Amino acid sequence: MRITVLTVADCPNARPALELATAALDGREAEVELVEVADEAEATRLGMCGSPTILIDGTDPFPPPGAAPSLSCRLYWRADGTMSGLPEETALRLALAGTAAPVRGAGAADCCAPPPDVRDVVDRSGRGRRAPAERGLRAVQQRILRHFSATGTAPGARTLRPEAAEAGRSAGEVLAELAEEDFITLDEAGNIRAAYPFSAVPTRHRVRLGIGVEVWSMCAIDALGIPAMLGQDAVISSTDPVSGDAVTVTSADGVLRWDPVDAVVFVGQRPGGGPAAAACCDALNFFTGAANAEAWTSGHPDVPGRTVGRSEAERIGRETFGHLLAP
């Protein structure tokens, strides 16, 4: 038996994943190796759907539904409904024994069955929000995100021409492909309406960056990912959909302070699929407390989901968006 832990450089879960795999063997003989994946092409060749990915004899025992190979961070559902950067040891033991692991999100799943996999909601079913480097997609995506962060507005196609031309394409061609893959959304005229985590139109979630620029985010999780993505202090201002009361999250030197301290985030997804902007962005909101989140879900039985606390919401935002502007 061969166990391969695929990871990216400096992944905090690389060594824990290696230790987990060794522990899950429970004395079985196996070759265990840690492989650092350098680029998207190698991730595709090896079958790494986010870091860390654990392969058993070259097979991923927890394949995210619809996932594509990527260098993004990977999250795993646990039996108690939480998420972690590692699979549960029990699930891995079952996989090593040749038994299907009963872990939500480990195989084909109904995206409409509650609770939805957070990866389906904010992270393109585990494929990550970072566009691939091929065909000018990442260069244009990153140019869009930097323009939003510098101006608070979406760039026009003319601004994106140099990055698209480097790949031998027009800006319109690259934008169309980014929209098709749900990295951005376009309006009827072909203008950028959203580039996750940013929105070109007003939303419930306003983010004032440390440099003074104000931007809109698509949802609560997107807002929480912006400070990590930009490496800036920020103040997130939102409102509870039930009470209308303010929820403020202040990020300073990487530490987030919530007001009120009992605030939570509901993570939901409307049935039917489609881009995140239509399927779930209006269902990922801050609430002043769990009671209000429960009241909202009771009034929206058509939106399956679950409520997450501050630390989990911060982690999801950070792991989803924190690496988008990395080289």
Asked whether residue 125 is domain-assigned, the answer is no
Asked whether residue 204 is domain-assigned, the answer is yes
Asked whether residue 22 is domain-assigned, the answer is yes
Lowest mean pLDDT among 26-35, 107-116, 245-254: 107-116
* Shared domain check, 270 and 253: yes
* Shared domain check, 159 and 182: yes
For the chain, the residue count is: 327
Asked whether residue 122 is domain-assigned, the answer is no
**What integer pLDDT is reported at residue 109 of this predicted model?**
29
The share of the chain scoring above pLDDT 90, in percent, equals 58
- pTM greater than 0.75: no
Distance, CA of 46 to CA of 39 (rounded, Å): 11
Contacts 24+ apart (CB under 8 A), 238-244: 238/204, 238/205, 238/206, 238/285, 238/286, 239/204, 239/286, 240/285, 240/286, 240/287, 240/288, 240/292, 241/204, 241/285, 241/287, 241/296, 242/287, 242/292, 242/295, 242/296, 243/288, 243/292
Element holding 173 (H helix, E strand): helix 171-180
Asked whether residue 119 is domain-assigned, the answer is no
* Shared domain check, 74 and 34: yes
Map residue 1 onto helix, strand or coil: coil
**What integer pLDDT is reported at residue 106 of this predicted model?**
33
* Shared domain check, 255 and 227: yes
Quickly state the pLDDT bin for 200 (edges 50, 70, 90).
Answer: very high
Query: What angle is formed at CA 314 by the lines to CA 310 and CA 316, rounded to 5 degrees?
Result: 120
Quickly state the pLDDT bin for 104 (edges 50, 70, 90).
Answer: very low
- Give how far Cα 74 sits from Cα of 26, 87, 265, 284, 318, Å: 25, 10, 20, 20, 12
Asked whether residue 127 is domain-assigned, the answer is no
* Shared domain check, 92 and 163: no
Quickly state the pLDDT bin for 196 (edges 50, 70, 90).
Answer: very high
* Shared domain check, 219 and 190: no
Q: Is the pLDDT score of 127 beyond 80? A: no
Q: End of a domain among 195, 222, 240?
A: 195
Q: End of a domain among 58, 93, 109?
A: 109
* Shared domain check, 240 and 157: no
Structural domain boundaries enclosing 52: 2-109
Asked whether residue 36 is domain-assigned, the answer is yes
Q: What CATH number is associated with residue 93?
A: 3.40.30
Total domains, the chain: 3
Q: Is the pLDDT score of 206 beyond 90? A: yes
Q: End of a domain among 195, 226, 243?
A: 195
* Shared domain check, 155 and 186: yes
User: For residue 6, what are its two tokens?
Assistant: 């695929």
Residue for token digits 């939102």? 238
Q: Is the pLDDT score of 80 beyond 70? A: no
* Shared domain check, 247 and 166: no
Asked whether residue 117 is domain-assigned, the answer is no
Q: Is the pLDDT score of 34 beyond 90? A: yes
Q: What is the pLDDT of residues 58-69, one digit of tens each?
A: 888 887 655 678
Q: Is the pLDDT score of 275 beyond 70? A: no
